[in-house]
Amino acid sequence: MNQNSFDYQSVLASLPNLPGVYRMFDTSGNVLYVGKAIDLKKRVSSYFQKTDHSPRIQLMVRQIASIETTVTRSEAEALILENNLIKALAPKYNILFRDDKSYPYLMLTGHAFPQLAYYRGEPKKPHQFFGPYPNSYAVRESIQILQKVFRLRTCEDAVFTNRSRPCLLYQIKRCSAPCVEHISAEEYRSDVQSAVAFLQGRQNELIDSLTQRMEQAALALEFEQAAELRDQVQALSRVQEKQFVSSNASQQDCDVVAAVADGGLVCLNLVMIRGGRHLGDKSFFPQGTVDDDAGAALDAFLAQHYLGAVMPPVIIVNRDIPAALRDLLEQQSERHVHLVSNPISERRIWLEMAEKNAMLAIQQRLSSKATQQHRLAQLNEALGLEGVERLECFDISHTMGEATVASCVVYDKEAMQPGQYRRFNIETAKAGDDYAAMREVLTRRYSKLAQGEGLLPDAVLIDGGKGQVGIAMEVFAELGLTLPIIGVAKGEERKPGLETLILPYQQKTLQLRSDHPALHLIQTIRDEAHRFAITGHRARRAKARTASTLEDIPGVGAKRRQQLLLRFGGLRGVVAAAVDELAQVDGISRTLAEKIYQALH
């Protein structure tokens, strides 16, 4: 039972027999768990009175130092409050789904000539939104289809309103160039209506309509228009062939959620079907699942994913849902939501596909996990270390000393941990001084960690040779740290597989064979540190150059900068413009246009 001095009996005695939410805290005030209950007294008491808890719950109970409760009027209110607190506090022992980003939509703007665009966020009027889609790839694929078939514009308004001639998309037949009136408003509106019909799942109706128009155009001897309509029909037919899931019975919107447990892992697969079309799927591996409890994971997912969000009219699941959660989901939706746990016909096929995809995702995760465990074991053996599981790797990136950025990436729990990555803009080191940059980043990273404010790694990788490793040793000595340092020096001609490992704690260097599992793990971490550093450096450099390029040109003030950027749709457009085009902008003389052109090239 509890190993600390927590007097749980007095707390239990004061609890009411009412519905509500309870929060359990450790000695540091960190939230361990958030739960709901129809009867707070009975539910919280069960943690201390029962003896058949799982090892995970037993460990949690031993850490409890205090309990707070909030009484609600009903179980439904408790469920809503519990969900909000889980999202806000991310308790260690709750089932958590790390997916804070909103799902993307395909948007048709409310302009006279609507723009086809990728959108992420809450849908807003007067635009039309289609989705949500499971990932950005699915949205962009749909945009490409609509561009090819209906040639709707995708350019931003600033570009659209300032075009004087069609862009490349018109030349390759991906846009009808409404910006320069190569298509009438009525014809463009017809194409938009056809695109909406496609997105709503009315493909058969759309193909029939286009076929009829094609025949009418041919009879009227308008062969060019007939050929364009023929191409649209053929393109739509090919899209239909690619749809491996489609609903002919009803053009419906629904989500399919399957929870599967195997091999100590729980996976949920979410399938999104809109207008009868399968838009794709996404697999989730929740944190905090207990004893492979797929049912609890499914309940947590439905609450965290749908409460307070837009829901489709049908949600298909592979397990029974508690009545309270079912009722709350139906009440929260603006329209009637039908939760189906025992589907038939095509819905059964969709659910079986989701279950199969979840099982495949688990198998891939288990296979990857076994590989990572083997690599870690080989790393410890090859480097003469024990118990190394968490590694941090550092890299420095700059261009001729400009916009120097250092990266720190983290490998832990047998996987890269992007949420724990950090970038450091180097400020004190002189331009091009990699040693000083390494000193700065290591000092900034480990000063607080050395004082116990955070989690220290088991070993540190340095992307560099003996010089950078020497700097790391000096910094660690100053901070009183004794972490193993491994330098990863690039081999001859910087070829992968020829790296030399510098091991100062053994006062030697080591070169592993190119196919050694430990080397593969080091390369993976090192390459991720390099990628993270260089993307940060490029972003910082681009920001600096974008901010200063036009400002540094004499005669180009704030108003003229604004006119240039508005006319050409951004700095890239200004750079691409010829002198004659620059001179057409209000307030830009021929002489100033030549100065701008020379400054940008």
CB atoms within 10 A of CB 512: 19
Q: Which CATH number applies to 391-538?
A: 3.30.420.340
- Residue-level pLDDT at 235: 65
Task: State yes or no: pLDDT of 599 exceeds 50.
Answer: yes
Helix (H) or strand (E) holding 56: helix 55-63
**pLDDT tens figures, 4-15:** 567 888 888 889
Quick one: which of 165, 173, 169, 167 has its CA closest to 224?
173
For residues 477-497, average pLDDT: 86
Residue appearing with tokens 């246009």:
593
**Which pLDDT band holds residue 313 (cuts at 50, 70, 90)?**
confident
For residues 575-594, average pLDDT: 86
DSSP letter (8 states) at residue 51: S
**Which pLDDT band holds residue 493 (cuts at 50, 70, 90)?**
low
C-alpha dihedral sign at 249, 250, 251, 255:
negative
The Cα–Cα gap between 220 and 226 comes to 9
Task: State yes or no: pLDDT of 250 exceeds 60.
Answer: no
- Residue-level pLDDT at 98: 62
- Residue-level pLDDT at 245: 41
SS3 509: strand
Are 266 and 293 in contact by the 8 Å Cβ rule? The answer is: yes
Residues in a beta bridge with 394 = 408, 462
Quick one: which of 398, 395, 424 has its CA closest to 541?
398
Strand 314-317 relative to strand 254-262, pairing: parallel
Q: Which residue has the higher pLDDT, 352 or 308?
A: 352
DSSP letter (8 states) at residue 275: T
Same fold, 254-363 and 391-538: yes
DSSP letter (8 states) at residue 514: T
Per domain, the residue ranges of the chain are 8-89, 254-363, 391-538, 549-600
- Residue-level pLDDT at 239: 52
Task: State yes or no: pLDDT of 286 exceeds 80.
Answer: yes
**pLDDT tens figures, 412-452:** 988 899 989 999 999 888 888 999 999 999 999 999 888 87
What is the separation, in whole angstroms, between the first and last Cα of the chain? 73
What are the distances in angstroms from CA 358 to CA 281, 362, 363, 365, 368?
A: 10, 6, 9, 11, 15
Strand 459-462 relative to strand 485-489, pairing: parallel
The Cα–Cα gap between 471 and 511 comes to 22
Q: Which residue has the higher pLDDT, 203 or 490?
A: 490
Burial of 45 (0-12, 13-18, 19+ CB in 10 A): middle
Q: Which CATH number applies to 549-600?
A: 1.10.150.20
DSSP letter (8 states) at residue 179: G
DSSP-assigned states of every residue in 62-106: HH--EEEEEE-SSHHHHHHHHHHHHHHH--TTS-B----SPPEEE
- Name the region of 159 (left: φ>0; alpha: ψ -120 to 50; beta: rest): alpha
Instruction: Quote the pTM value.
Output: 0.57
**pLDDT tens figures, 392-401:** 999 999 877 7
C-alpha dihedral sign at 594, 595, 596, 601:
positive
Lowest mean pLDDT among 254-258, 306-310, 378-382: 306-310
The Cα–Cα gap between 394 and 180 comes to 51
The pair phi, psi for residue 404, each rounded to 5°, is -70, 130
**What's the CATH architecture for 8-89?**
3-Layer(aba) Sandwich (3.40)
The Cα–Cα gap between 526 and 369 comes to 19
For residues 45-65, average pLDDT: 86
| Record: fold of 254-363 | Nucleotidyltransferase; domain 5 (3.30.420)
